[in-house]
Structure 1
């Protein structure tokens, strides 16, 4: 049974070694103290294949989650980095739309509430007014499909300048003007593209449906251990307290897949990250308080 709490805390699937199957990943997340998982559908063929899971596979995953009293709250749909809405290539754009439609169906079937969209018009091509227009057109298509399935879409604040701030993200949210398209900030990315990340939270607070917790350094947006980057977590959590944000948070981190970590080591690794963040957030995360 779902427990109604403020600020549920989830863990990114890629924080758990990829060698583990879904049953083990769910067990690790649960025993580490997290409320939910965020599924990854990145640009790899392995992850994109999930969009074509059979009905039986989808029901199997739902059963595993139910057995552990866990849920997948969001899908990180970074597959659009390779197949972006704004591509100049018509075949690539068609693939982007196909990925989007299949992701919405998968989310609906798994009970996932939110699909996080990568805020890139293009990634491996040069950006211009045409690619930006293609991105907006793709967002409008996505919202039409998602709204019919009652699936929320949200644009992540990214590691590139294009949508590196909430202010820039809101230009697209307002242009589409739908309750089904909102904002998913990332503390780490946001802190590298503006000197006033707290002000950016004010700009988007009425549209924020989830927040990534990640540490970063100038020019380094991944795999920075918590506490070794430049993100001022205490200040950002305090701002969210003032803004009365009650939505979910997601710990974004990556396992070292070159190491043969055990289940117990994997649990300890992601639990320690959550406990470190709780130290910065006070009593915000109830789940780790239960384990004290």
Structure 2
């Protein structure tokens, strides 16, 4: 299993979309309406494997996923620069949560999710990441029921297209495990966000013990306890413990950089440096004070 992590590091990492250009309209993370084409070229230039594409409300009208012509242009550019889209981050459903809305609104949102699953399949993308954090966080048992009902409704479409649903939540380990038990389906997996877990004070050992086999994708990020994102190695993410758990549970998914931003205008150099740190970590080298080789 050590060999897998090293081999993965050697093959290159993915990045969350938008990290290779300056924030648009002051947004920390959003679809880059003006810079998405340039970002593909930059990802190739600094040696990244590809991008986790963002679909959100901010990008409506500019996201190439929305039209046949846009998808063709996007596919041509990806092929030209030998960059792939590993997943779609459906921040649209954080802007317009599947929770705390009317029955009619939820029906419309579920139709939007079905459409996104279809588009993902058309583009050869194998997973959609669904965020249930911040504005879309699951607050109580009734909302857990709504999530189960909603995802059960769209699973036949996911099955039809062979696209996985990766859930990102802020639920405590046992609570998240309980939700997953109710969604016992091979296409429903966990998107593990290292920084978010550190900010919430969750211990990797407890998280992986609760649902390790269901983790299908991994966001590399560092945050301080109860605070925001910081450069890799400067926060409270226990990268040493995380690497041990990845090995113990034989994780074989992808790794996506969702790291802190540097200075505007310096994005390619900054992200290249963050990718180098993450690559060293996957290979077993030190990343922070608690990490050993």
TM-score range for the pair, normalised by the shorter chain length: 0.7 to 0.9
Which residue of the other structure, out of 63, 67, 70, is the alignment partner of 1:54? Answer: 67
User: CA contact under 8 A between 2:49 and 2:83: conserved in structure 1?
Assistant: yes
For 1:182 and 1:112, how far apart are their aligned partners in 2?
Answer: 15
User: Is 1:96 aligned to residue 109 of structure 2?
Assistant: yes
Number of residue pairs the alignment of both structures matches = 267
SS in 1 for 2:199: helix
For 2:95 and 2:226, how far apart are their aligned partners in 1?
Answer: 21
Give 1:66's aligned residue.
79
| Stretches of structure 2 lacking an aligned partner (at least 5 in a row) | 1-6, 22-31, 286-293
Which residue of the other structure, out of 141, 152, 160, is the alignment partner of 1:148? Answer: 160
Cα offset, 1:52, TM superposition: 6.3
User: CA contact under 8 A between 1:216 and 1:229: conserved in structure 2?
Assistant: yes
| Stretches of structure 1 lacking an aligned partner (at least 5 in a row) | 285-292
Give 1:41's aligned residue.
55
Which residue of the other structure, out of 93, 113, 128, is the alignment partner of 2:126? Answer: 113
Give 1:287's aligned residue.
none
Give 1:23's aligned residue.
37
User: Is 1:236 aligned to residue 237 of structure 2?
Assistant: no
- Change in CA separation of 1:124 and 1:138 when aligned onto 2, cut-off 3 Å: closer
Normalised to the residue count of structure 1, the TM-score between the two structures is 0.81
For 1:87 and 1:148, how far apart are their aligned partners in 2?
Answer: 28
Task: Please give the per-residue CA displacement for 1:74-100, whole angstroms capped at 9, x wherever unaligned.
Answer: 111121123222224234313321321
User: Is 1:281 aligned to residue 287 of structure 2?
Assistant: no
Cα offset, 1:49, TM superposition: 5.9
User: CA contact under 8 A between 1:166 and 1:203: conserved in structure 2?
Assistant: yes
User: Is 1:171 aligned to residue 178 of structure 2?
Assistant: yes
SS in 1 for 2:216: coil
User: CA contact under 8 A between 1:51 and 1:99: conserved in structure 2?
Assistant: no
For 2:283 and 2:99, how far apart are their aligned partners in 1?
Answer: 41
- Change in CA separation of 1:139 and 1:219 when aligned onto 2, cut-off 3 Å: same
For 1:126 and 1:155, how far apart are their aligned partners in 2?
Answer: 11
Which residue of the other structure, out of 193, 199, 203, is the alignment partner of 2:200? Answer: 193
SS in 2 for 1:123: helix
Cα offset, 1:72, TM superposition: 0.3
For 1:97 and 1:51, how far apart are their aligned partners in 2?
Answer: 21
- Change in CA separation of 1:271 and 1:142 when aligned onto 2, cut-off 3 Å: same
Give 1:9's aligned residue.
13
User: Is 1:182 aligned to residue 189 of structure 2?
Assistant: yes
Normalised to the residue count of structure 2, the TM-score between the two structures is 0.81
Cα offset, 1:193, TM superposition: 2.9
SS in 2 for 1:138: helix
For 1:48 and 1:253, how far apart are their aligned partners in 2?
Answer: 27
User: CA contact under 8 A between 1:42 and 1:48: conserved in structure 2?
Assistant: no
SS in 1 for 2:98: coil
SS in 1 for 2:89: strand
- Cα RMSD for the two superposed structures: 2.6
- Change in CA separation of 1:231 and 1:207 when aligned onto 2, cut-off 3 Å: same
- Change in CA separation of 1:274 and 1:124 when aligned onto 2, cut-off 3 Å: closer
- Change in CA separation of 1:138 and 1:48 when aligned onto 2, cut-off 3 Å: farther
For 2:194 and 2:64, how far apart are their aligned partners in 1?
Answer: 28
Give 2:28's aligned residue.
none
